Amino acid sequence: MRRIPAVILAIALCPFLMVVSAIAQEDMVVVAGDSFEKQRRPPAVFRHDEHNEVAQIEACNQCHHVYEKGEKLDDESSEDKRCADCHTEKSSDGQPGLRQAFHLNCKGCHQFKRKGPVMCGECHAKQPS
């Protein structure tokens, strides 16, 4: 008889635990590397919300940029697109290739601000299985 309330409680808590788990993982983002024919390193780990809070970034277009005719459009954002939607693996027509674009945007900002990781293994860390 005592098992029935415990089973009911466990069943009732299951959806709650699933939601909490999903929310906890939602902030954990691995920068998509599936556009690369051959990946050199593990995908970069990037906690989007945590990063932006620490870096005090509020404007999405600070990272999610849009260029037109070689000029950055200050009032436009590409947050609804993947980087690979605009950048191919190889550079072409003055547009950096995907790997170079990641490094110019992310690592370049870290170097400019003298904050954040700039060494390969600091972003491209193996994730525990």
What's the pTM value of the predicted model, to 2 decimals?
0.68
The Cα–Cα gap between 96 and 45 comes to 21
SS3 content of the chain, % helix, strand, coil (to 5): 45, 10, 45
User: What is the pLDDT averaged over residues 12-20?
Assistant: 47
CATH superfamily of 25-123: Cytochrome C3 (3.90.10.10)
Could you give the 3-state DSSP secondary structure of residue 117? Answer: coil
Domain segments of the chain as ranges: 25-123
pLDDT at 20: 39
Considering only 21-25, 38-42, 90-94, 98-102, which range has the smallest mean pLDDT?
21-25
Distance between terminal CA atoms of the chain? 39
